[in-house]
């Protein structure tokens, strides 16, 4: 396996002979990549020869997009073919689409069985790291390999906390108008109230009342 170009030697590290340690060489992302010559676009019609190619790729990767590309088609076309296969099975009919569906189901079963076996090995192998296997199974089959979580209690006011209250723009405008009218009414009442005479300052005699 060739070392990646442009990678600093200090990041590659020394060769490792022990199990479970980091490899000294990184895989080449272009290894095995080859453009299909003479093709102008994806195939939109399912053929019998495409079924084993799709099934083998699914058994190896579990990804429909990769399997579709290996067979010369697209993920969208493969998804439509699988849907037609499920519809035919529901009507108890058999066709090329049901054959594709059954092959894909076998491939997915093989893939998850392989991942489960790898996960079981991590129980007895202290050098194995189960995190990638656990993550891969959770994202590819969340219904089977994800523990459902109970919904957390909703906090009053949403994410702003209990000190805030979420209101609509209409309710906010109505509240502002009511407060403004209340302020104007109180201000008018203060202006209409007669002001009392101020008491005389200390040292000054109060004016004598007329006799």
> Is 189 inside any structural domain?
no
Say what the pLDDT of residue 158 is: 52
CA distance 102 to 28: 34
> Is 133 inside any structural domain?
yes
Count of positions (residues) in the chain: 211
> Is 14 inside any structural domain?
no
Query: How many CB atoms within 10 Å of residue 101?
Result: 21
> Is 171 inside any structural domain?
no
CA distance 35 to 195: 96
Give the residue numbers spanning the domain of 66.
41-145
Say what the pLDDT of residue 61 is: 92
Say what the pLDDT of residue 208 is: 54
CA distance 10 to 130: 27
CA distance 176 to 118: 64
> Is 118 inside any structural domain?
yes
> Is 93 inside any structural domain?
yes
Name the domain count of the chain. Answer: 1
> Is 160 inside any structural domain?
no
> Is 74 inside any structural domain?
yes
pLDDT tens, N- to C-terminus, the chain (211 residues): 455 455 445 444 444 444 555 555 788 888 888 887 777 889 999 999 999 999 999 999 999 999 999 999 999 999 999 999 999 999 999 999 999 999 999 999 999 999 999 888 888 888 888 888 888 888 888 888 887 777 665 555 555 555 556 667 788 788 888 888 888 888 888 777 665 555 555 555 555 555 4
């Amino acid at each position: 396996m060739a070392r990646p170009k442009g990678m600093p030697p200090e990041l590659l590290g020394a060769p490792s002979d022990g199990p479970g340690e980091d490899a000294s060489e990184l895989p080449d992302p272009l290894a095995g990549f080859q453009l299909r010559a003479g093709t102008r676009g994806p195939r939109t019609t399912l053929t019998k020869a495409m079924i084993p190619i799709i099934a083998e790729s699914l058994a190896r990767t579990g990804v429909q997009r990769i399997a579709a590309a290996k067979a010369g088609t697209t993920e969208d076309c493969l998804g439509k073919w699988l849907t037609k296969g499920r519809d035919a099975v529901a009507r108890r009919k058999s066709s090329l689409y049901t054959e594709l569906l059954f092959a894909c189901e076998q491939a997915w079963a093989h893939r998850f069985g392989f991942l489960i076996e790898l996960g079981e090995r991590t129980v007895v192998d202290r050098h194995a790291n189960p995190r990638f296997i656990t993550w891969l199974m959770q994202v590819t089959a969340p219904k089977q390999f994800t523990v459902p979580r109970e919904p957390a209690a909703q906090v009053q006011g949403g994410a702003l906390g209990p000190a805030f209250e979420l209101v609509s723009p209409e309710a906010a405008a109505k509240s502002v108008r009511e407060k403004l009218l209340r302020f104007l009414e109180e201000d008018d009442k203060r202006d209409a109230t007669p002001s009392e005479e101020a008491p005389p300052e200390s040292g000054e005699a109060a004016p004598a009342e007329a006799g």
